[in-house]
Amino acid sequence: MVVGLLGGSFDPAHGGHVHITREALRRFGLDRVWWLVSPGNPLKTRGPAPLDRRLDHARQIMQHPRVTVTDIETRLGTRYTAQTIARLQRFYPGVRFVWLMGADNLAQFHLWEDWRSIIGAVPIGVLARPGDRIAARTSRAATIYRDARVPALGAQRLGRMPAPAWAFVNVPMHGASSSAIRAGGGWS
């Protein structure tokens, strides 16, 4: 079983999340995707909306038989991705996990707590996002781990590869963002 993990604030969830989830299932050969609705991104100073509200909304937006929306990080008591992945791997030894992210997150990835342990623990699937493709490809993490990059055509096997391995797929892009929705007053 290969499970993609899409961590996010989902404040609120939107069509961009749904779009990359569907693309990730297809392009990375995943059996399932779990949305990890975060208790709060450690790098963001502004606290998100209450967890129950974000979860309910995410479950309305993302309805797919192979996708589960979960608050497992809150239940595990983890907020840092490196800790979450270590715990999930311990709890689910038979599952192969792939960490999923939009291109904007790859550009900042080297700022995450213990980021090298994340890339050493699970393959990473990166999906194009408007405005962030170049920043992602030239980011610190992409540069340091250039030899671990899997060509997009081989990305179907990403979940079966040993870490470190990462792939960037140039999927059709979707412009939605939570910050634009909040700024437009669509989530107050």
Ligand X SMILES: Nc1ncnc2c1ncn2[C@@H]1O[C@H](COP(=O)(O)OP(=O)(O)OP(=O)(O)O)[C@@H](O)[C@H]1O
Ligand Y SMILES: O=C(O)c1ccc[n+]([C@@H]2O[C@H](COP(=O)([O-])O)[C@@H](O)[C@H]2O)c1
Match 């962030």 to its residue by tokens.
Answer: 132
Match 């996708």 to its residue by tokens.
Answer: 67
Q: For residue 111, count other CB atoms closer than 10 A to its CB.
A: 11
CB of 38: closest distance to ligand Y in angstroms? 4
Cβ distance to ligand X smaller for residue 105 or 164: 105
| Short-list 163, 154, 155, 124, CA closest to 4 | 124
CB of 71: closest distance to ligand Y in angstroms? 12
- 67/25 Cα distance (integer angstroms): 9
Looking only at the bridges linking them, the beta strands covering 2-8 and 32-37 are parallel
17 touching ligand X, by CB under 6 A: yes
80 touching ligand Y, by CB under 6 A: yes
114 touching ligand X, by CB under 6 A: no
Please give the single-letter amino acid code of residue 7.
G
**Gyration radius (Cα) of the chain, Å:** 15
Considering only the stretches 90-98, 138-146, 151-159, 177-185, report the one whose residues sit in contact with ligand X under the rule CB under 6 A: 177-185
CB of 160: closest distance to ligand X in angstroms? 22
85 touching ligand Y, by CB under 6 A: no
166 touching ligand Y, by CB under 6 A: no
176 touching ligand X, by CB under 6 A: yes
- 56/69 Cα distance (integer angstroms): 9
Residues 107-136 that bind ligand Y (CB under 6 A): 112-113
9 touching ligand Y, by CB under 6 A: yes
187 touching ligand Y, by CB under 6 A: no
Size of the site for ligand Y (CB under 6 A): 15
Q: For residue 79, count other CB atoms closer than 10 A to its CB.
A: 15
8 touching ligand X, by CB under 6 A: yes
How many CA atoms within 13 Å lie on the side-chain side of 100? 33
Cβ distance to ligand Y smaller for residue 154 or 175: 175
